[in-house]
Chain A
Amino acid sequence: MDVNHIFSRREFLLVSGVMVVAVSAPQAWGAKEAPLIIMDQAKGLIIADPTKCVGCRRCELACSEFNDGKASPTISRIKISRNLNFGPKGLHTGQPGQGTWGNGLVIQDVCKQCPHPVPCANACPNDAIVVIPPTNARVVDSNKCIGCKMCQKACPWEMMSFDSDTNRATKCFLCDGNPKCVEACPAEALSYVTWRDLTDKVPPRVVPTAVVSPDKAQTCNDCHMK
């Protein structure tokens, strides 16, 4: 079954064996396409060890150059540069604790391939963030992306990139199971492992400010309300 097949909540629930009590009117099958809700977990995850990072930024270069043909830490889907000098808290909360100017620790920011509910996907008005097997990474479909940046606002870890040349969002797609950043790291600071949920283990970088559209939000009822 195509994991991104958009179908009604009722169909899903029937297939997964859960009883449906009510179906909201706008979701009536055939009246309007139901929004995409990603439920399948990712299979793989990149994890990063800050105690080994040597601040060379080769991960950023591999990600952007080998995928996009241009070197750009700004587009890179693994993010080092913003923490390199002063740590994730930067300079606006007092003494720099981490980074080159602090204790030397470089925190690498990596996409957690969030489980359901996936903030970036849910924020997208065009359902442009989809799941691609076999890694089930959450990936921006650039044909559907309109460059509104709602996904950027939705990610608590600010992991969405925006390519101003193409006017499209982009994010970590695990390089089809062979992440280039992991391959590129000269200090063995990155690993590609079986997916596990890190969303409640890594402090957020920002308070997300995107909203989930009402018709998407409504579908929560379809699955969760008994």
Chain B
Amino acid sequence: MVKHGGWAGKVLRIDLSTGRISTEDTIEKYKDYLGGTGIGYRVIWDEVPTGTKPFDPANKIVFGVGPLAGTGAPCNGRIAVTTLWPTCWPKPLVASGHMGGHFAAELKYAGFDAVIIEGRADSPVWLQVVDGKAEIKDARHLWGQGIRRTTVDINQQMGPEASVAAIGQAGENLVPMSVVINSYSHSAGGIGGVMGSKNLKAIGVRGTGSVRIAGDKGEWEKVVKLHLSLLGSVNQHVVPNSPQPWAEYYSDTRWVGSKGRKWGSANPNIDTGACDPHNLNRIAYRTNNAAFFLGEKAWQYTVRGNGCSSCPIRCHTMLKVPSVSSKYGIPAVGQNTCVGLLFGRDFFKTFPDGPRGQTAIEACMVGMHLADDLGIWENYGQMQRDFQQLYYSGTIKNKVGEDEFKSYSWDQYEKGDPTFLFELLPRIANKQDELATSLGLGTGYLLERWDIPERDWQQDQKIAYWKLGHPKHHSSEEAGQCGVIINTQYNRDVQCHSHVNFIRNGLPLKVQKQLAAEIWGSSDAVDAVAAYSPMNIYKAKMAKWSLLRKELHDSLSLCNWMGPWIASPLKERNYRGEDSIESLLYSLATGDKKSREELDEVAERIFLLHRALTIRDMGTKEMRTQHDTIPDWVFTDPAGKAPYTKGTNRMDREDIKLAMDMYYEQMGWDKKSGSPTVAAYHRLGLGDVADELTKRRLVP
């Protein structure tokens, strides 16, 4: 047996019903699936039968990383969590979440590529993993505690370096809209309740081992430095947000660092400066997501960037807002990124001092403090959008009893007073009343419970709902048909950024088209935002590439919020990145040489397995009509503009039909049903899957 680098070599299996702990050989069993979601989908396919529900003991949770996790490859600090999804409506289906932080790396150093959690413990437990050995430990004293108390408690037992992933009260109470969090602010959405249903309070990992690089260490150093040299800011935006001395271009990107913009609450403050992309010692100063999302005011409160192990980008922002301790009694320091930062703010329609003022920032601080301890999930802001819609339409008032309605301080809410969150969020975590319980179910089950037709949600662009109980995630509003195709393919909001990282990278359209021609075959693959042209085959190729690379990243352990890296900030490269960077890193780290095409084929296998699982558990092969659906709002425009005119994101139904045709064709699937053919499964080494689906008559 060839000894590979990269992989730790072992998968840990924990049966909480029997207490049995066992291990498997990663390479023997899962090499063709790489890791992460690859292992996740394979385990769910092999071991979790159709009809299993997310909170059943028969459901499994697969925490998986890939061969690159824990190495010096940039942006590898993520772990995928695969399971049957509690908020997937009307029928639970397989889906995956991800969390960053340091957990992924620590798991590798502890000697494991994945942890499979099975069954249900009789009473609350936590799992301790230390250097190859696992132990199920009593967590009864932790049950009822928040994520932060739990983490500190376990760190006291395991030492300060241990990485702890824990659920809060929301997960314990089987609230579907719940998370597991490690490293203070890094959450994997949607799975808190699944852990809670298994009585698994937390996993603590400590590893003193190493991840071996199979290839020559000098070669490895070169590839890592190449990758670093191609990095932009967060989301691989390669153009700065304002004119910089070194830059040919400037646009409304997330590369916000510049001379005069300081980490104001660093002690002493630090000017982020011009951040020439050739200076790899200043990568961390390019990004400030708090400033991007909360406005310029956030700079004065910025202590520093934070984020996952190995990543120089630091997309989490650590904020220190002194006013919140006296006003709300919460710590002055908080941190998160993107939607996590906005958790508190997005509930409110308005603030006394505007969307970018002090109060909005305070709402963010309160939201993070509560949500990241109670362990509540927001489903990419959908909970907040639902809440606003339901309140202002009078629905909440109708649906909950008069007493319950009166028990909320709605005047505070309407004024934009963050104090309101202290009423709402703990109730959600504890399923305390009708409103809280309903919000905690997730949109699909909420609509059902309150007799609201899903169609209502699918008409309104503002609500941003897509299907199956989840919202859109980078769809037609920025990527036209490519975005629509991508958003049809999963069982939760699509966690795919391959396409949007490119589209929003700030390069002028002409340059984007040049790069697009090289990657997807024609400059027609990309349009300017809100100036879409009719469908063509290159957009389908881009959609396929985007989806495959997402699965590749989720299985290798690379961050799909940063990759792929097809563009770079370097004028001397004509802003080209390196489309083969994943294959270069993978081949050197593992010693298993795979070209870009070969690695993309492995990604396709993993993606196909997700498709197969969805078909199997939906019990239909009519994916086109039953699963790959598109909400009505995609085909509308608030001002009635026609599709494919400038100034609208409106799609045309016939054109989108063609888009799906072309996409299915690119994938080698049956066009009418949108289902992979038996040949497609065989081509990717999924013959056993084809057999099973054939038995169930679920192949075209």
Q: A-side interface residues toward B, CB under 8 Å?
A: 51-58, 61-62, 64-75, 81-86, 90-92, 96, 99-101, 103-104, 164-165, 183-188
The size class of the interface chain B forms with chain A is: 35 or more
Given known pairs A52-B304, A186-B283, the reply for A61 and B71 (CB within 8 Å) is: yes
Q: Give the distance in Å from the alpha carbon of A80 to the alpha carbon of B183 in the complex.
A: 15
Q: Give the distance in Å from the alpha carbon of A86 to the alpha carbon of B151 in the complex.
A: 11
**Cβ distance B225 to chain A, nearest Cβ, rounded Å:** 9
> Can you spell out 14 A-B residue pairs with CB atoms less than 8 angstroms apart?
A51-B267, A56-B284, A56-B310, A57-B102, A65-B213, A71-B71, A71-B72, A96-B152, A100-B184, A184-B72, A186-B280, A186-B281, A187-B285, A187-B314
**Cβ distance B407 to chain A, nearest Cβ, rounded Å:** 34
Whether B160 sits at the interface, judged by CB under 8 Å, is yes
**Residues of chain A contacted by B270 (CB below 8 angstroms):** 51-52
Contact A51 B213 (CB under 8 A): no
Contact B213 A100 (CB under 8 A): no
Given known pairs A58-B312, A71-B70, the reply for A90 and B160 (CB within 8 Å) is: yes
**Residues of chain A contacted by B217 (CB below 8 angstroms):** 65-69
Q: Which of B204-212, B361-369, B468-476, B658-666 contacts A (4 or more CB under 8 A)?
A: B204-212
Contact A104 B310 (CB under 8 A): no
Contact B285 A165 (CB under 8 A): no
**Cβ distance B246 to chain A, nearest Cβ, rounded Å:** 17
**Cβ distance B72 to chain A, nearest Cβ, rounded Å:** 4
Contact A91 B155 (CB under 8 A): yes
Q: C-beta contact mask, B290-310 vs A, less than 8 Å → 1, else 0?
A: 000000000000011111111
**Residues of chain B contacted by A101 (CB below 8 angstroms):** 148, 151-152, 184
Inter-chain pairs besides A54-B305, A71-B72, A71-B211, 8 sampled, C-beta below 8 Å: A54-B307, A72-B210, A72-B211, A74-B109, A84-B102, A91-B152, A101-B184, A187-B284
Whether B318 sits at the interface, judged by CB under 8 Å, is yes
Contact A70 B213 (CB under 8 A): yes
Q: Give the distance in Å from the alpha carbon of A103 to the alpha carbon of B306 in the complex.
A: 12
**Residues of chain A contacted by B221 (CB below 8 angstroms):** 65-66
**Residues of chain B contacted by A92 (CB below 8 angstroms):** 156
Contact A186 B210 (CB under 8 A): no
Whether B528 sits at the interface, judged by CB under 8 Å, is no
Contact A85 B213 (CB under 8 A): no
Q: C-beta contact mask, B247-271 vs A, less than 8 Å → 1, else 0?
A: 0000000000000000000111010
> 4 tightest A-B contacts by CB?
A72-B210, A186-B312, A61-B72, A186-B283
Q: Give the distance in Å from the alpha carbon of A13 to the alpha carbon of B348 in the complex.
A: 79
Q: B-side interface residues toward A, CB under 8 Å?
A: 70-72, 102, 105, 109, 148, 151-152, 155-156, 159-161, 183-184, 208-213, 217, 220-221, 224, 266-268, 270, 280-285, 303-312, 314, 318, 320, 333, 335
Residue of A54, A164, A183 most packed against chain B (CB within 10 A): A54
Q: Give the distance in Å from the alpha carbon of A161 to the alpha carbon of B183 in the complex.
A: 25
Contact B161 A81 (CB under 8 A): yes
Q: Give the distance in Å from the alpha carbon of A87 to the alpha carbon of B446 in the complex.
A: 43
Closest Cβ neighbor of A100 among chain B residues: B184
**Residues of chain B contacted by A186 (CB below 8 angstroms):** 280-284, 312, 314
**Cβ distance A212 to chain B, nearest Cβ, rounded Å:** 29
**Residues of chain A contacted by B224 (CB below 8 angstroms):** 65
Interface of A is mostly: loop
Q: Give the distance in Å from the alpha carbon of A205 to the alpha carbon of B217 in the complex.
A: 32
**Cβ distance A35 to chain B, nearest Cβ, rounded Å:** 32
**Residues of chain B contacted by A90 (CB below 8 angstroms):** 159-160
Contact B281 A58 (CB under 8 A): no
Contact B156 A91 (CB under 8 A): yes
Contact B333 A54 (CB under 8 A): no
Picked from B213, B267, B280, the residue with its CB within 8 Å of the CB of A69 is: B213
**Cβ distance A40 to chain B, nearest Cβ, rounded Å:** 30
Q: Give the distance in Å from the alpha carbon of A100 to the alpha carbon of B184 in the complex.
A: 7
**Cβ distance A81 to chain B, nearest Cβ, rounded Å:** 5
Closest Cβ neighbor of A81 among chain B residues: B161
**Residues of chain A contacted by B308 (CB below 8 angstroms):** 56
Residue of A53, A69, A188 most packed against chain B (CB within 10 A): A69
**Residues of chain B contacted by A67 (CB below 8 angstroms):** 217
Closest Cβ neighbor of A89 among chain B residues: B160
**Cβ distance B372 to chain A, nearest Cβ, rounded Å:** 12
Q: Give the distance in Å from the alpha carbon of A74 to the alpha carbon of B308 in the complex.
A: 18
**Residues of chain A contacted by B282 (CB below 8 angstroms):** 186-188
Contact B281 A51 (CB under 8 A): no
Q: Give the distance in Å from the alpha carbon of A6 to the alpha carbon of B312 in the complex.
A: 45
**Residues of chain B contacted by A56 (CB below 8 angstroms):** 284, 307-312, 314
Contact B281 A54 (CB under 8 A): no
Closest Cβ neighbor of B213 among chain A residues: A69
Q: Give the distance in Å from the alpha carbon of A164 to the alpha carbon of B155 in the complex.
A: 24
Q: Give the distance in Å from the alpha carbon of A183 to the alpha carbon of B267 in the complex.
A: 24
Residue of A61, A66, A96, A165 most packed against chain B (CB within 10 A): A61
**Residues of chain A contacted by B102 (CB below 8 angstroms):** 57, 84
Contact A85 B210 (CB under 8 A): no
**Cβ distance A53 to chain B, nearest Cβ, rounded Å:** 8
**Residues of chain B contacted by A165 (CB below 8 angstroms):** 210
Picked from A65, A85, A99, A184, the residue with its CB within 8 Å of the CB of B71 is: A65
Given known pairs A51-B268, A62-B72, A71-B70, the reply for A57 and B183 (CB within 8 Å) is: no
Contact A82 B310 (CB under 8 A): no
Q: Give the distance in Å from the alpha carbon of A103 to the alpha carbon of B284 in the complex.
A: 19
Contact A54 B284 (CB under 8 A): yes
Contact B266 A51 (CB under 8 A): yes
Q: Give the distance in Å from the alpha carbon of A62 to the alpha carbon of B74 in the complex.
A: 11
Q: Give the distance in Å from the alpha carbon of A179 to the alpha carbon of B499 in the complex.
A: 37
Contact A86 B304 (CB under 8 A): no
Contact B71 A104 (CB under 8 A): no
**Residues of chain A contacted by B307 (CB below 8 angstroms):** 54-56
**Residues of chain A contacted by B333 (CB below 8 angstroms):** 103-104
Q: Give the distance in Å from the alpha carbon of A184 to the alpha carbon of B71 in the complex.
A: 13
**Cβ distance B337 to chain A, nearest Cβ, rounded Å:** 13
